[in-house]
Amino acid sequence: MTHQHAASQKWGLTAGYRGADHTWHPYSAVSLKAVETALGTHLPASSQQRFAGLPATAVVEEEKLHYLTLAAAQTEWDLLQLADWEVHLEDSSRIPLRLVTIELPEKIDPVLAVELPAALPQGYHRLVVTSADVTYRATHIIVTPAHLHVLPDQQNVWGLTAQIYALRGDQSWSMGDSHDLKELCQWAAQQGADFVSINPIHAGSPVTPVENSPYLPRSRRYLSVLMLSIEDLPEYHSASAECRAAIDTLAAPLKARNHSPELLDRSAVHTAKIAALELLFGDSMYTLRLDLFEEFCQREGSQLRDYALWCALVEEYGEDHPILWEGDHGPSSAWAVEKSVEHAKRLKFHQWVQFLLTEQLRDVQRAAKAAGMSIGIVHDLAVGVGLHSADVWSLSSLMVPEVTVGAPPDAYNQLGQNWNQPPWHPQSLQEAGYAPFVQMIRKLCETGGGVRIDHILGLFRLWWIPRGMPPTAGVYVPFPYDDLLRIVILEANRHGCVIIGEDLGTVEDYVREALSHYGIWGTSVLWYEYDDNGQLRVPDTIRRDCMMTVSTHDMPPVSAYLAGKQVDLRDSLGILGQSREAEWQDYLRNRADIVEMGTRMGVWPSDTFPGSDAEVLAIHQLMWLAPATAKAIALVDIVADQRSENVPGTDTEYPNWLVPLCDRDGHAVSLQQVQESPLWTALKRDVMDNI
């Protein structure tokens, strides 16, 4: 066995992968070596030695007996039997454990094991061993349900998808926020919708310029200040008249843009909202809900303090200043402790902002449920964070900065993708008891009714691209997906949330089997529902356990796609993966398949033009014939918007994530105008109320 082969086996790496084209693609030796080196360099020190060989974390199913085997010779058994073995439960109570001998198929002799009783409750516990007056906090024990079961069996649901920043009302500060989300949820509930699925609203940079992509946040454990509706805060209404007047002055020029089709300006909104919050903070408004604020800070603990300190340091130095990233300047360093004292007031400010965001989004979710939604807000969990981000700074021991995450080429992105996000080290995450992952899922579950996990394949394996190499030069690194999925359904079960896994692209069968096993919905896009023979699936043969849409945010709105505008756009941007003629022929075949299927199902109009309202209506009627548990209509399709929200493979070439909601003619559209849209009236009448 070669050294490289041994290293690959250690990390579960293979020699290549099977792509979307069903062919085998071997990894390059250079890429494989670079990934192995990165994994070995960041191997957690504590993984080298553990008490009696116990695992760092054990994720187990409730109501089942489990055993943790001990790496101990029989001569050591008596000594281990003398130790006190306990599980310290999440509620601080304790359960004594016993050691037993068990036989394993792969072992000749019996082995000693810790017996975990079937009565252990769901939650996060700790195996604690006391031996010779020394206490070892040996193993994180996470007990989860077997399956996520939130909605009644056979209940079908429908809802809307929205880039919430693009939807403005009269109160907006030129971008949609939680006020607009609340109004959208309440109106959608009146129409019979069960949910509104939105873009990621993770925390961005505390300084400008602000990253435009909601999929490249600075922390997935905290929320974006851009979502905060200042006028909906009780602190705003309790502030002095002078303070409110100053805030209104900040808002006025932004509100003047609410009916403009021009591109959004995240940095301008960020600057104004931070200034408004500073005015409220200076007016001592942080004391208005002081008990709740202090309780929030205590519950969030060190992770919130670390995040707030990072914000203060970035305000002082900038995101990529070497002082934050070189030497011992992490959150537990003496330097960071000194800085936290120096910036104590600013830390409190950033903690308070997160408190306001959490409370306001909880209020939106309560309002959605009160209006009749069975689910409410469905959050979107981004794949990762930027290199110079809060999560990388505060969790540096868990990250692998020498590589970045992306995706290999597939039907959606023929050149592959590089998301410029450093991954977690899978073993380091286990050593930490998966705590950062838990915190991330919990934050979204406690402020919504569902979570869509973008690229859920990343919980199974991630496409690691060595820095400086193209997306095609990546290597798949496996992750402990059973553990991660069990944690997801534990948090979802506790908060009554549904979970949706975006499983498009290069996905092996075992991924979808695992999602179904745990009660997690997959994702279906009508445009790409082809079988292995290249035939568009008949709607009633599409899988049930998924959320289905006609399109995605990485494609043009349906009206534009039906007219083939994506070919012209991608050609003008120079990102076609083949000749323009070949791309156009692919589009024509795809369109012809949809038209033929729609005609066969009796829903396609005979006398219209490509991309017409009649075709938008028909394609949604076609989708509604599928048995998918959840179906969603995009807000952009209700108004026949023509501009793409995002064009994969571009950066500055296209204004990704900056396009406000507009109609077919390019006029800005408010929520009231969405409600009055003739296309919406037709969709409601002929789709949701009729099929």
Q: Are residues 401 and 499 in the same domain?
A: yes
Q: Are residues 36 and 65 in the same domain?
A: no
Work out the average pLDDT over 199-210: 98
> What's the pLDDT tens digit per position in 358-416?
999 999 999 999 999 999 999 999 999 999 999 999 999 999 999 999 988 876 677 78
Q: What is the pLDDT of residue 48?
A: 45
Place of tokens 């469905």: 378
Q: CA distances (Å), 78 to each of 18, 40, 70, 73, 112, in order?
A: 50, 36, 13, 10, 10
Q: Are residues 31 and 75 in the same domain?
A: no
Q: Is residue 335 part of a domain?
A: no
Q: Is residue 159 part of a domain?
A: no
Q: CA distances (Å), 430 to each of 393, 416, 438, 455, in order?
A: 19, 29, 12, 21
Last residue of a domain, one of 104, 122, 144: 144
> Which CATH number goes with the domain that contains 93?
2.60.40.10
Q: What b-and-e string marks burial along 234-272, b requiring 16 or more CB atoms within 10 Å of the CB?
A: ebbebbeeebbebbeebbeebbebbeebeebbbbbbbbb
Range with the poorest average pLDDT among 99-103, 144-148, 153-157: 153-157
Q: Which helix (H) or strand (E) holds 197?
A: strand 195-198
pLDDT category at 684 given cuts 50, 70, 90 is very high
Q: Are residues 25 and 62 in the same domain?
A: no
- Looking only at the bridges linking them, the beta strands covering 403-407 and 417-418 are antiparallel
Q: Are residues 496 and 449 in the same domain?
A: yes
**Average pLDDT in the chain:** 94
Last residue of a domain, one of 508, 539, 569: 508
Q: Is residue 621 part of a domain?
A: no
> What's the pLDDT tens digit per position in 266-276?
999 999 999 99
Q: Are residues 29 and 65 in the same domain?
A: no
Please give the DSSP secondary-structure letter assigned to residue 473: G
Q: Are residues 419 and 480 in the same domain?
A: yes
Higher pLDDT, 46 or 652: 652
Work out the average pLDDT over 557-571: 97
Q: What is the pLDDT of residue 572?
A: 96
pTM of the model: 0.95
Burial class (CB in 10 A: 0-12, 13-18, 19+), 545: middle
> What's the pLDDT tens digit per position in 157-199?
999 999 999 999 999 999 999 999 999 999 999 999 999 999 9
Q: Are residues 60 and 14 in the same domain?
A: no
Q: Are residues 504 and 449 in the same domain?
A: yes
Place of tokens 């489990």: 66
Last residue of a domain, one of 144, 169, 200: 144
Please give the DSSP secondary-structure letter assigned to residue 65: -
* Residue 260 pLDDT greater than 70, yes or no: yes
Q: Which domain holds residue 60?
A: 54-144
Number of domains in the chain: 2
Structure tokens at 618: 């028909």
Closest CA to 201 of 215, 187, 190, 189: 215
Q: Is residue 626 part of a domain?
A: no
